[in-house]
Amino acid sequence: MADRYQLWGGCFEEEPSAVLKRLNDSLGVDSRLYREDVFGSKAWARELFRSGHLSQNDHDALQSGLDKVVQEIEQDLSLKGSLKDPEEDIHSVVERRLHTHAGEAALRLHTARSRNDQSATDTRLWMLASTHRLRNTLIELITVLVKRAEMEIDIIAPGYTHLQRAQPVRWSHFLLSHTWSLKDDVMRLEEQMKRISRCPLGSGAIAGCALAIDRNRLARDLGFEDVTPNSMFAVSSRDHIVEFLNWATLCSLHLSRLAEDLIIYSSQEFGFIRFSDQFSTGSSLMPQKRNPDGLELVRGAAGLMLGTSVAFNCVLKGLPSTYNKDLQSDKELLFASYDKLLDCLKVVTGSVKTMEVNREKAQSALEPGMLATDIAHALVRRGVPFRRAHHLVGAVLRRATALGVDLQHMSHAEYLAICPDFGSEEELRAIFSWEASVEQYTSVGGTSMSSVRVQLQELNTWINQTQK
């Protein structure tokens, strides 16, 4: 009786070898799709009934039976942690269990449906729900960054290029520099979700559906925005998974760069921030150690994401049309990337939300040499061409080094000896103000108070709109 309901194998006399079965079976991976498989099956049963290919009694038995299958699987997963069914995949498990509840009606459910379009539909349904969850988690991280930027807008810290002190910036400006990258990730994900939301069901194995069904109605019933336009494309294309893996790589790269900055700033050499106990670990040998392991794991995950993306592209690059079993690896890689990225987002969100910022330590890292550009700008405002001003400030730096003083404490006379356009001593000394320095940058995207507030307003408006 069991062979009778196997999804394939009618013309086979022998079972697959144990090693092939081990390589072939995917239940350990795709059991995660049991809700989507049942949801899709219920919709397929409704469409068969609406189009006259299923009786009322069979339809009712299938709907009731599928509800019981979900309850059974949920109970098994709750008690055992995984499914122990002998079938090779979740589709076979659902169909065999359905037969115990719906009887002969279960044999009609697979009418005109292939595992090819069934599996493709399950995966897209899962991706729609999961990408929405990732989107919301990303927005939560963005919200945390924006709130911190609002609270800490008056903190001024060194800005770095080449990991060398460059110019003073508002700490908020630094936080928002990462926030904008993450916002772009949300927008890219939303745009990608439109292509995911195309229903493959009704495409059959390759040629389409031989029965008169309404694929558009079926798609709406499942919550899709559209249908796939070609049956061969529907069962073989994994572009949406490639896009997601590439997107996950870019998003994890952004998280990694934020993590790297925060790791550096938390070191004893910098000391700008301190992570909470929740997101720090210690050393098994050195009691004094406080390690940012959470963010280090986030940083490492970016490399793994890239590897996964490249690996799946390599699987696809030489495949002939249409479905080939190589594609079975799609869900294993998809689920692994999703799980890791979701955890990384939560770790970064928690780390940023609970970290302490030491404003005194940040400001103590500022040094007068970082205002060299400000001195050049002062000369430009007095009509000196920038290239000449740049050269003159370079001469000032050389002279200060020779005298063993910093720019702020070099005498006014030394400045005038290099160039009389440096102005009065009062004007020169006014340049050495961290607040005055950052407040020069009032253009859009600058680090002045007004420019940072514009960024905050724009981001808050966007957050409120996305949460409606």
31-77 tens-digit pLDDT: 999 999 999 999 999 999 999 999 999 999 999 999 999 999 999 99
pLDDT 10s digits, 350-388: 999 999 999 999 999 999 999 999 999 999 999 999 999
pLDDT of the residue at 21? 80
pLDDT at 468 over 90: no
Domains of the chain by range and CATH?
Answer: 25-111 (1.10.275.10), 116-154+170-364 (1.20.200.10), 368-466 (1.10.40.30)
- Averaged confidence pLDDT in the chain: 94
What are the DSSP E strand ranges found in 79-176? 156-161, 164-170
β pairing state of 198-199 and 273-274: unpaired
CA 117 centroid distance within chain = 27
pLDDT of the residue at 340? 97
pLDDT of the residue at 12? 55
pLDDT 10s digits, 66-119: 999 999 999 999 999 999 999 999 999 999 999 999 999 999 999 999 999 999
Place of tokens 């009704």: 202
Find the length of the chain.
468
Asked which of 107-121, 283-297, 400-414 is least confident by mean pLDDT, the reply is: 283-297
Q: What are phi and psi of 273, to 5 degrees?
A: -135, 160
Cβ contacts of 343 within 8 Å, gap of 6 or more: none
pLDDT of the residue at 9? 56
**Measured distance CA(352)–CA(142) in Å, rounded:** 10
Active site residues: 162, 283
- Please state whether 320 falls in left (phi above 0), alpha (psi between -120 and 50) or beta: beta
Angle between helices 34-50 and 90-102 (to 10 degrees): 60
pLDDT 10s digits, 421-433: 998 999 999 999 9
Tokens of 104: 């002969």
Q: What is the C-alpha end-to-end distance of the chain, expressed in Å? A: 53
- What mean pLDDT do residues 191-217 have? 96
pLDDT of the residue at 331? 97
User: To the nearest whole percent, how much of the chain has pLDDT over 90?
Assistant: 90
User: To the nearest whole percent, how much of the chain has pLDDT over 70?
Assistant: 96
- What mean pLDDT do residues 223-243 have? 97
Which pTM was predicted? 0.92
pLDDT at 14 over 80: no
- Pinpoint the alpha helices (H) of 317-439: 329-354, 359-364, 372-381, 386-403, 412-418, 425-430, 434-438
pLDDT of the residue at 235? 97
